[in-house]
Homo-oligomer: A and B are copies of this chain.
Amino acid sequence: MTPVMTAEELNEFMREVFQQVAEDFNVDHVGEGEVTMRLITSDRHLRPGGTISGPSMFGLADVAAYLVTLSQIGPQALAVTTNCSIDFMRKPQAGVPLIAKARLLKLGKQLSVTDVLLFSEGTEAPVARASLTYAIPPRSMG
């Protein structure tokens, strides 16, 4: 499970391929089958009261699961989420960055399965957990 892409390469890949969302996220760390990243919060991620919205939490978990998959198979713009189950457990703290810790549980030829915990930075109890399945397309041969 040695990664084939660095945090810098994953950030670069996002900026090239998902220009619209790349400014919302930053990969902080890539490990063996693990990625830690953050939501760069702006007004459009917030609900009244200043907490981060459900779709923004989903979006962070989704990108983290995608990038931890890519960190093992290399840059592929075409992988698609097929399933997500997410539990919202606590209200995120207002004004505190949201951190995702993604852990790849399975990397098969056709599917990857990733576990993601979301935290308000500096807090031990997770605000949400998610598991996501990605469909990996057959590799194009060169």
Say whether A84 contacts B86, CB under 8 Å. yes
CA distance A62 to B57 in the complex (A): 12
The segment out of A2-10, A68-76, A92-100, A108-116 that lies at the interface is: A108-116
A87 contact from B19, B46, B82, Cβ within 8 A: B82
A105 and B83 form a contact (CB under 8 A): no
Q: Say how many copies of this protein the assembly contains.
A: 4
A60, B131: Cα distance in complex, Å: 19
For A59, the chain B residues whose CB sits under 8 A away are: 53-55, 58
- Indicate the member of A19, A48, A131 with the most B CB atoms within 10 Å: A131
Q: Are A105 and B126 in contact (CB under 8 A)?
A: yes
In contact, B129 and A87 (Cβ under 8 angstroms): no
CB pair B83 A110 closer than 8 Å: no
CB distance from A76 to the nearest CB of B (A): 15
Distance A110 CA – B20 CA, assembled complex (angstroms): 30
Near B by CB (< 8 A), chain A positions 108-142 give 110-111, 113, 115, 117, 125-126, 129, 131, 133, 135
In the assembled complex, which residues on chain B have CB atoms less than 8 Å from the CB atom of A89? 82, 105-106, 113
Given contacts A89-B105, A105-B89, A126-B105, contact A133 B82 (CB under 8 A): yes
Instruction: Verify if A17 is at the interface (C-beta below 8 Å from B).
Output: yes
